[in-house]
């Protein structure tokens, strides 16, 4: 399969930082993030092996690559709050303990699921086109993104059960993750339709 220059550049960039962080997390014996390295490899292997069928847009591939880098940095870059994932970016709300908004972890969750929702929206529109209600197509894309979100939380729960000293967090962390996953997915879909609406209105 032949890739465009942009697709190849994204793949090389992703492979380089994934290899670098894989070496780092193996050296640190961080089982949790070694597993996440495997997840990133799986995602990009799946995406790139099906590009001829999915015609996945370059901006979605780039968006996922940026997420992968943020995810790898999240467990390793030190901040005043611990690692980057624990960084309290801005005090929109502080309910004590884990109930704090906004942390880097929440920002990454919102960002990722905006991209995931766009990915499913592309696949659905690639299949359905404009033959069906776009409200229905957008809703299905939102539900699909939330399904991936639930799967991600199940994986994190498995990490809680199997990996000592994991950084997954407790109930409030789980609930806030789900809220930001939903918010990010919804904003991604709304932004897509608004962009195309105003573009066609010109």
* Final residue of a structural domain among 11, 41, 76: 76
Mean pLDDT of the chain: 91
If asked whether residues 140 and 119 sit together in one domain, one would say yes
Non-local CB neighbours of 117 within 8 Å, separated by 6+ positions: 141, 142, 144, 145, 184, 185, 186, 188, 189
If asked whether residues 64 and 128 sit together in one domain, one would say no
For position 167, what pLDDT does the model report? Answer: 59
* Final residue of a structural domain among 76, 98, 121: 76
Average pLDDT score over residue span 2-10: 94
If asked whether residues 89 and 163 sit together in one domain, one would say yes
If asked whether residues 118 and 134 sit together in one domain, one would say yes
For position 169, what pLDDT does the model report? Answer: 64
CA 36 to chain centre: 12
If asked whether residues 29 and 96 sit together in one domain, one would say no
Provide the domain limits for residue 96. Answer: 80-202
* Final residue of a structural domain among 21, 56, 76: 76
pLDDT, tens digit, for every residue of 138-188?
Answer: 999 999 999 999 998 888 788 777 766 655 667 788 889 999 999 999 999
For position 124, what pLDDT does the model report? Answer: 93
Lowest mean per-residue pLDDT among 40-44, 50-54, 152-156, 190-194: 152-156
If asked whether residues 98 and 72 sit together in one domain, one would say no
Query: Into how many domains does the chain fold?
Result: 2
pTM of the predicted model, to two decimals? 0.91
If asked whether residues 188 and 126 sit together in one domain, one would say yes
If asked whether residues 46 and 15 sit together in one domain, one would say yes
Helix (H/G/I), strand (E/B), else coil: 129: coil
Non-local CB neighbours of 16 within 8 Å, separated by 6+ positions: none
If asked whether residues 121 and 149 sit together in one domain, one would say yes
């Amino acid at each position: 399969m032949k890739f465009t220059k942009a697709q190849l550049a994204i793949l090389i960039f992703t492979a380089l930082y994934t290899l670098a962080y894989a070496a780092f997390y193996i050296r640190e014996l961080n089982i949790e993030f070694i597993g996440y390295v495997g997840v990133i490899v799986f995602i990009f292997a799946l995406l790139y092996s099906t590009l001829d069928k999915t015609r996945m847009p370059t901006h979605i591939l780039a968006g996922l690559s940026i997420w992968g880098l943020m995810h790898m940095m999240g467990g390793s870059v030190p901040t005043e709050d611990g690692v980057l994932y624990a960084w309290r970016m801005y005090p929109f709300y502080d309910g004590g303990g884990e109930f704090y908004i906004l942390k880097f972890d929440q920002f990454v969750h919102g960002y990722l699921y905006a991209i995931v929702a766009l990915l499913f929206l592309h696949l659905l529109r690639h299949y359905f086109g404009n033959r069906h209600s776009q409200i229905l197509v957008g809703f299905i894309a939102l539900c699909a993104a939330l399904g991936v979100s639930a799967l991600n939380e199940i994986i994190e729960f498995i990490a809680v059960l199997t990996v000592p000293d994991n950084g997954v967090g407790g109930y409030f962390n789980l609930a806030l993750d789900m809220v930001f996953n939903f918010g990010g997915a919804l904003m991604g879909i709304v932004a897509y339709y608004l962009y195309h609406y105003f573009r066609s209105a010109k």
